[in-house]
Structure 1
Amino acid sequence: MQNSWRFLYIHLTLLLALLLNVMPLPAAVKLFRPDWPLLVLCYWVLALPHRTNIGTAFVLGFLVDVMVGTVLGVNALGYSVICFVVAANHLKIRNFSVLQQSLLVGLLLALYHLVVFWLSHFLTGVYFRAAYLWPVLTGMIVWPYIFWFLRRTRRQFKIQ
């Protein structure tokens, strides 16, 4: 019973991140909203790559597509690409300090936004604006707090 609760905890944090992603905000603040699901997913792939994988990333990205109303598969592909990069290098990334991880997460978020923009541009004709990159900066700022919070709760509940 406890093992299923521990497994469920990962999915509850991802669900909470999905809710934070669609929470209504004022228009001025909405531009700066970090990519909560992707940040939480990056933590779980980094911490437990045998529990969360590219399949989890694809399903989570598909749910983001449905909840946000974008073209189906755009976020799913972006999440899968970032998850692949993190999973392939998780042993190296774990050895970085939290500030170095924050810079790397910023690069991964920029890659994610590039993939999403590229697909959206070819599918719907969206044009690039510099405001697309604000979530990269806020994601870099929020990463240490997400990392420390999820790490503390993972150790407290002994999730492995």
Structure 2
Amino acid sequence: MQQTKGIGVIYLSLVLALVLMVMPMPAMVKLFRPDWALLVLLYWVLALPFRANIGTAFVIGFLVDVLVGTVLGVNALAYSVVAFVMAANHQKIRNFSVLQQSLLIGLLLAFYHLMIFWLSHFLTGVYFLPDYLWPVLTGTLVWPWLFWLLRRVRRQFKVR
């Protein structure tokens, strides 16, 4: 029963992040929307890499592809690669301060957006715009608060 409750909290937080990703917003604000699903996924991979892993990242990335309307598999591949980097180094990253983690999350988000751009450019001929990088900045700034919130949720519901 304990493990089922823990998985439920993880999946509920990921579903809420997916809802935040597709929630309608004004065009100007939409440019600055953080990649909520990726940020929440990275938290769970950092906190519990045996519960949220590369397979979870692939499924969430595929759902993002479906919800956002991109070429199927682009976000799934990018989420999987970023989750692999986080899972492979989770023990080191846990020892960083939240500010250092935030900077590292910024680098991972930049890597994610670079992969999305490359794949989209090769598949559909998209050209780079500097506006693509605003979610990197906002995701970096949001990380400390999201980390604190999800850590509190994890401790409150005793997710292990």
TM-score, length basis structure 1: 0.99
- Which residue type is aligned with residue 21 of structure 1? M
Identity %: 75
Deviations 1:46-71 (A, max 9, x none): 00000011000000000000000000
Deviations 1:84-138 (A, max 9, x none): 0000000000000000000000000000000000000000000000000000000
CA contact (8 A) 2:5 2:159 kept: no
- Aligned equivalents of 2:85, 2:52: Cα separation in 1: 13
- Which residue type is aligned with residue 35 of structure 2? D
Q: Equivalent residue for 1:3?
A: 3
Q: Equivalent residue for 1:47?
A: 47
Q: Equivalent residue for 1:15?
A: 15
Q: Equivalent residue for 1:150?
A: 150
- Aligned equivalents of 1:47, 1:76: Cα separation in 2: 21
Deviations 1:14-55 (A, max 9, x none): 000000000000000000000000000000000000001100
Instruction: For structure 2, list consecutive stretches of 5 or more residues without a partner in the other structure.
Output: none
- Which residue type is aligned with residue 75 of structure 2? N
Deviation at 1:6, TM superposition (A): 1.7
- Which residue type is aligned with residue 118 of structure 2? W
Q: Equivalent residue for 1:140?
A: 140
Deviation at 1:153, TM superposition (A): 1.1
- Which residue type is aligned with residue 120 of structure 2? S
User: For this pair of structures, how many residues does the alignment match?
Assistant: 160
Task: Map 1:3-152; keep pairs closer than 5 Å.
Answer: 3-152=3-152
- Aligned equivalents of 2:158, 2:148: Cα separation in 1: 15
- Which residue type is aligned with residue 134 of structure 2? W
User: Structure 1 segments of 4 or more deviating over 4 A?
Assistant: none
**1:119 match: secondary structure:** helix
TM-score, length basis structure 2: 0.99
Deviation at 1:2, TM superposition (A): 3.5
Larger RCO: Structure 1 or Structure 2 (Cα < 8 Å, ≥ 6 residues apart)?
Answer: 2
Instruction: For structure 1, list consecutive stretches of 5 or more residues without a partner in the other structure.
Output: none
- Aligned equivalents of 1:42, 1:35: Cα separation in 2: 11
- Aligned equivalents of 1:130, 1:11: Cα separation in 2: 33
